[in-house]
Amino acid sequence: QKEVEQNSGPLSVPEGAIASLNCTYSDRGSQSFFWYRQYSGKSPELIMFIYSNGDKEDGRFTAQLNKASQYVSLLIRDSQPSDSATYLCAVNDRGSTLGRLYFGRGTQLTVWP
């Protein structure tokens, strides 16, 4: 059973601060990593994906991947109240279970004005 663990939260930050969301995974063979945002009562939507070690930036979002430590994180700079949502980490592997995505439980983020 592949495990994806996220910091339990909830996480609360003031507007303008940096929010840091963390995720660890159990399978060293995992190849690709995704961050989804889910607003209450809505479906998940992809905000970032990363395949290679290091940082990947997209606007206010930065994904960081360290395969040796089996760790992936998401930083949200200049957090806005509209960023308040649950963030789901997902891991995709290329083993016998091609195409399967494993999700963590999610971290609930609240950005207060």
CB of 42 to other proteins, least distance (A): 8
**Contact with other proteins (CB under 8 A) among 32, 70, 71, 75:** 32
**Structural tokens at position 68:** 């040796």
Q: Does 1 bind other proteins (CB under 8 A)?
A: yes
- Span 53-82, contacts to other proteins by CB under 8 A: none
DSSP β-ladder status, 19-25 and 71-76: antiparallel
Query: Between residues 59 and 95, which has the closer beta carbon with respect to other proteins?
Result: 95
Residue of 21, 37, 44, 76 interacting with other proteins (CB under 8 A): 44
Q: Which residues pair with 19 in a beta bridge?
A: 76
Minimum distance from residue 19 beta carbon to other proteins (Å): 19
Query: By C-alpha distance, which of 101, 105, 64, 59 is closest to 82?
Result: 59
Residue 108 and residue 40: Cα distance in Å, rounded? 10
Q: Rule CB under 8 A: is residue 102 a binding residue for other proteins?
A: yes
**CA atoms of 15 and 78, how far apart (whole Å):** 7
